[in-house]
A and B are shown apart, each in its own frame.
Chain A
């Protein structure tokens, strides 16, 4: 069986509260908090970026997997904030964790689902017998226009997954994707901040693709809501995933462990992958997790993941996602601005 051999996440330590941002724009913090179901978001330090986050997450995944990095045959990193427009993040990661030089690598972009696309890519190489292990990473240090609604949620973080057939701690039972040309959220080349279609990002974009991909997966694998113990959806805020769960008939309790957005914000390419990692941190052997990502532009990748007996020993080796969430320091809006505009 093919599946996750090791996983790891990384969330920068700084946080900024919704109240702090709202006070600058004379906005109503209370209604923003309840409207978005979010308290605070993560902020990268002045010397952190997508590459550094990807490396830290990858080192955690490698530690958990306990494999020789030289056995990794492919590295794919998905982000919308790669440090270079041209020069791959994936080779920086490779060099930093001791992979290569005999490996293939590439960076991907598909808004917030760039990382889950990487998981599918390495699955293909493994099933095709081309590589033994593959590393898929989703990481971002997302920018948002000051004063825009996105400012409350655009955060930084990432997760890494080593996929293979040896020492699987969580089996990937299947994957199903749903994609279309839907311009709900975009950023033109050379422009600093993204733009979005306001309410258009909801029903015709997020919900259409998340629901279609999830239903497609369940149908393909002949699984029902009751077959899943946990569900993780991409988290642009704390409301959309809850609504998606409701629309699909999933019990609200099942989404709680993975709902990391409330305390770290939307980590874009890292979002569903961190949600999955947080869920894997507490899932028991035999339990089943459904995870559906969403990337604007638009598409969703859905996975059914079944935890094996090997997970409990392996996941002890690294810092839990909850530990990363709890390890924090608050910054003021002034400090936040200096950090975000510094690089």
Chain B
């Protein structure tokens, strides 16, 4: 499927993607983002509750994409990173508003709302959170 941008596929994940809403297992206390459908630690014994996560974190590792997948060609080069949120969970996204010296392991970042992908001239626009250095 790649990025033909199915409407229901995109719509279903708007809330966790736009608002950084994950969940917390009240049995083991672990916090997850993206939200899980089953606590992988407690499984049957787990009880999951929605939780809104803070938008700050730090870079754990990064790269710069220069050879893009379909639909992202106009944006290269763009940095991607695995970010550890201050609230705990780790996620993957792009880094924006960056300079060379910002791409460092440990650099503090915060989430910001950006376009992720545009499905041509006629399709829908996919938004989401990317991260900028603070």
Contact = CB atoms under 8 A, between A and B. Distances in A.
A and B: direct contact (Cβ < 8 Å)?
A: yes
B43 interface: no
Contacts of B112: 52, 56
B127 A98 contact: no
B15 interface: yes
B100 interface: no
B12 interface: no
Contacts of A56: 112-113
B74 A83 contact: no
Interface stretch (A40-48, A170-178, A196-204, A295-303): A40-48
A49 interface: yes
B115 A95 contact: no
Interface residues of A, number: 22
A47 B115 contact: yes
Contacts of A51: 113, 125, 127
Nearest to A53: B113
Interface in B90-134: 96-97, 112-116, 118, 124-125, 127, 130
A97 B96 CA distance: 20
A95 B75 contact: no
Interface string A33-70: 00000000000011111011001100100000000000
A83 B97 contact: no
A221 interface: no
Contact of A45 (B15, B52, B96, B113): B96
A87 B10 CA distance: 15
A48 B14 contact: no
Contact of B114 (A13, A52, A92): A52
Contacts of A13: 97
Nearest to A46: B75
Interface in A61-91: 83-84, 87
A96 B19 contact: yes
Contacts of A48: 114-115
Contacts of A84: 125
Interface of A: 13, 45-49, 51-52, 55-56, 59, 83-84, 87, 92, 95-98, 338, 342-343
Given A13-B97, A47-B75, 19 more contacts: A46-B75, A47-B115, A47-B130, A51-B113, A52-B112, A52-B113, A52-B127, A56-B112, A92-B127, A95-B14, A95-B15, A95-B19, A96-B18, A96-B19, A96-B113, A96-B127, A98-B19, A342-B75, A343-B115
